[in-house]
Amino acid sequence: MDPISLILTALVAGAAKTAGDVAQDAYKGLKGLIKRKFESQGKSDSATILDKYEQKPEKTKALLEDELTEVGADKDEEIIKLAQKLMEQLNPQEAAEGKFNVQISGGTVQGLTQQNTGTLNQDFRTSK
């Protein structure tokens, strides 16, 4: 799962009324961390979009996705780890299967998913 999708999924799942107390703590921590990220980059208006995402995720998803990307949330190790932790608490079975894995190393973020079935073709012919 790519980092932005993980963050968005965690926010929707955490906002659900069915999330338990422990998950609600992780959710509030994630949301607070994202709001502080917005504020630190002078985008306090984006916090409103984050709040609206809880009520109408389908209508505000693209806008929030853009805002998260713009502030670098998809490269913020703390935000990604907290989103992973929340999803592990809410969906332990899927977490055990690796659905929410995101690798961060040396400033590079890589998402892993079971649905990633891309093909890589290389041409090793030499020209004369």
Q: Could you give the CA distance from residue 82 to residue 28 in angstroms, rounded to a whole number?
A: 10
Q: How confident is the model at residue 122 (pLDDT cuts 50, 70, 90)?
A: very low
| Three-state secondary-structure class, residue 105 | strand
Q: Is the pLDDT of residue 99 over 90?
A: no
Which whole number is the average pLDDT over 15-20? 67
Determine the distance from the C-alpha atom of residue 2 to the mean position of all C-alpha atoms in its chain, rounded to a whole number. Answer: 7
Which whole number is the average pLDDT over 82-107? 69
Q: Could you tell me what percent of the chain has a pLDDT over 70?
A: 69
Residue 62, pLDDT score: 95
Which whole number is the average pLDDT over 10-20? 77
- Report in angstroms the alpha-carbon separations of 58 from 9, 47, 54, 83, 112: 12, 17, 10, 19, 24
Give domain limits for the chain: 3-111
Backbone angles phi, psi at 2, to 5 degrees: -75, 155
Residue 95, pLDDT score: 53
Arithmetic mean of pLDDT over the chain: 77
Residue 102, pLDDT score: 58
Identify which has the larger pLDDT, 61 or 24: 61
Q: Read out DSSP for 44-93?
A: THHHHHHHHHHH-HHHHHHHHHHHHHHTTGGG-HHHHHHHHHHHHHH-HH
Per the CB < 8 A criterion, the answer to whether 20 and 91 are in contact is no
What tokens were used for 69?
A: 């990307």
